[in-house]
Amino acid sequence: MTRDPVELVIFDCDGVLVDSERICVKVDAVIMADLGCAFTEAEIIERFVGSSSEVYTAAVEQRLGRRLEKDWQHKYEHLYRAALDAGLTAVDGIAEALNGLTAPVCVASNSDHDAIRRSLELAALSHHFEANIFSAADVTTGKPAPDLFLHAARSMGVDPGRCAVVEDSAYGVRAARAAGMRAFGYCGGLTPASRLEGPGTTVFDDMRELPGLLAAVTH
């Protein structure tokens, strides 16, 4: 049975376009230890990769047993910037994947606009997306709610059913499914395939395969 063609490919940023998750998890561990609520790197990967800042803050507060000030994360932002400036690279194979796509593309990330643009610039990927960048700051609720993906599709003028989402986190694929979009779960990073599998989701581990996978779902 022939399905609707993919008219828009929506990419998450961290862990999908840029190989930032491994760097940020180590910084997260340092920050949490400084706060006095140590999480292991395995816990951070399980609970926070792909989550919103609200989920992150709530878990830290729960373990601490107290509330944090509203802008508590600001004092640590320099740690992320320094670590990313020193070691951020594009995800292996993503440049080839982007060059092999014919459908329009955009970015939809739980990070803020400045962080997304900085990451894309560091990884030399900005030219693929230009102004087509969407942040959880643009909507009321970030992933795993579908709001951000629906906002991206609406802004790009494409029906959700004709969109494909490329994600590397359980939160992201849940958001894609909730938005009624086809999900492609990349398990070549920190998240195991078992956390991405589910209805309407194609799981893969090599970004170079993405153009072929996208073509296959329309036939």
CB 85 within 8 A of CB 122: yes
As given in the structure block, the two tokens for residue 61 are: 């507060």
pLDDT band at 1 (very low <50, low <70, confident <90, very high): very low
Measure CA 136 to chain center.
11
- Domain 21-87 matching CATH 3.30.420: the answer reads no
Give the model's pLDDT for residue 2.
Answer: 44
Dump pLDDT digits (tens) for 39-53: 888 888 888 877 777
User: How many Cβ atoms are within 10 Å of 118's Cβ, its own excluded?
Assistant: 18
Fold match between domain 8-19+88-216 and domain 21-87: no
First to last CA, the chain: 7
- List the domain boundaries for the chain: 8-19+88-216, 21-87
Which tokens in the block code for residue 178?
A: 């909730």
Check: CB of residue 130 under 8 Å from CB of residue 33: no
Q: Say what percent of the chain tops pLDDT 70.
A: 97
Would you state the pLDDT for residue 39? 85
For the domain bounded by 8-19+88-216, which CATH number is listed?
3.40.50.1000
